[in-house]
Each structure stands twice: as structure tokens, then as C-alpha cells.
Amino acid sequence: MSLPTWIPDALSSEAVRLEGKYWRMVEAQHRVSTLKLVDRLPLECRHLHYLLATPFRYGSIYPYGSRFRRAGKTKGVYYAAETVLTAVAEMAFYRLLFFAESPQTQWPNDAAEYTAFAAAIRCEKAVDLTRPPLDRDEKAWTDPTDYAACQAIADVAREAGMQAIRYRSARDPKGANIALLTCSGFAKAKPLEPHTWRIRIGSFGVQAICEFPDRRLEFSRTSFVDPRLANMRWERGR
């Protein structure tokens, strides 16, 4: 697949303003010691709560790369979703992916606990891949496994001084995500509205439950279109 070609000046001319609450999920065991975390953060991030600042740590190698971040000693990216439901879908997919890549691992007996929280984000200069003319390459931006186009546009966005990238979720096609490229995009230093979700996974797919506010989501075996799930071993013991 040929990569979309953009230069910084052209991308800068498409800049938009983004402001709102964006959602992220972490395992409930996130309450761990954060001693010396501040020593591994850029100066612009050191006033932030560690749940917001952690993705921007430097000094270690980013092992595999992600949609808008290359592998290696590269600058951090904070990924979040525009709605908590999209954030849950993203987490559900990656939990399934873990088991698809670990065919001998048994399904867990109990539901796992996660914390969903929002971050207030305000960016004066961002790129929106869901709007014309950038949306003409949506297939490249949402490819489930090939991140080359996204990593290339992120490089150009940084060079153009963009703070964030808005893009369609590959796991929840009706939802959108944000890739925050700099800590300067946070409008508040602490996470907002934390609440608990329990995610149960098994041969049926994924069930996600939040008791307050009351929300329940289910993802079947066919909810996610991704070649890495094609050969999932669904029938396995607990």
C-alpha cells in the first residue's frame, strides 16, 4: 500500500481546534508506586497526574510501536477515546488479542477490574483524519495491523507543530479517538470522573459491566474484524 503524502505546511493548513473530555481505561492495579516517575518525564509533563503523564516517559525503548508512535526511543503518545464506550471497545479488543496470541492460556475464572477515566484536553492546533481532505485515506488510517501511514502522518504532524491527531477507531467504527502528541494538550492536570468496569472474557466473547453509572456492553466472537483474531482458539478451559 502506498503511503499518503503530506508535507508540514500542507498539513498545518488543515489544522483544527479540539476540546473536550477523552476517555481511557487502565487495569485497576494501576495504583502502584510512582517513585522516580518524575525523573523520567519531560519538564512540560511533570505537573500532571501520573495516569496522564506516564505515556510520555522517556529513557526506555518503546518495544513494538503503535498506531501513531514508532518503536524505539521515540516521543510519547497519549491515546484516548471520545466516549467511554469506545474506550471499552478498545480494551475489549486488546484483551481478546492477548488470548489470540496465547492459544494455550486458559480463560480467566473471574472478571478483571478496570478503571475508566476522562482527561480534559484542549488543543489549538490538531489534525482531524476524519475530515476532508484527509478522510480520503481513511482505509490507511484505520488499517487494523499496518501502522506505517499513521506513523508517517504523526511524524509530519509533529514537524508541523500539531498537538494531537483525531482519527476513526479501528475497533469501534462509529467512534473516534485522539492521539495526544504533547503534554501541553491537557487542560487539567488530573483525571476526571473515574469509575470501575469489570470485564469478563471467555468462549462467548467479552462482557463489560459498569455498576455506576449502569452500563453493560457485549462483544461477540465476530465483533472485531482483525486478521490476528481469525484463528482464535475459542474453546479452551478455565
- List pLDDT tens digits, range 38-51: 558 888 999 999 99
Is residue 3 included in any domain, yes or no? no
Average pLDDT, the chain: 93
Which phi and psi (to 5°) does residue 9 adopt? -65, -40
Task: Write down the pTM of the prediction.
Answer: 0.93
pLDDT for position 59: 75
Is residue 219 included in any domain, yes or no? yes
pLDDT for position 39: 59
d(CA 235, CA 238): 10
Number of domains in the chain: 1
Instruction: Give me the domain span that covers residue 148.
Output: 8-229
Is residue 236 included in any domain, yes or no? no
d(CA 170, CA 183): 24
Residue 43 CB neighbours (<10 A): 7
The amino acid present at 10, given as its one-letter code, is A
| pLDDT tens-digit series, residues 120-152 | 999 999 999 999 999 999 999 999 999 999 999
Residue 237 CB neighbours (<10 A): 6
How would residue 114 be classed by pLDDT, with cut points 50, 70 and 90? very high
Interior CA angle at 21 toward 74 and 179, to 5°? Answer: 20
d(CA 150, CA 156): 10
pLDDT for position 35: 43
Q: If you average pLDDT over residues 149-159, what whole number do you get? A: 97
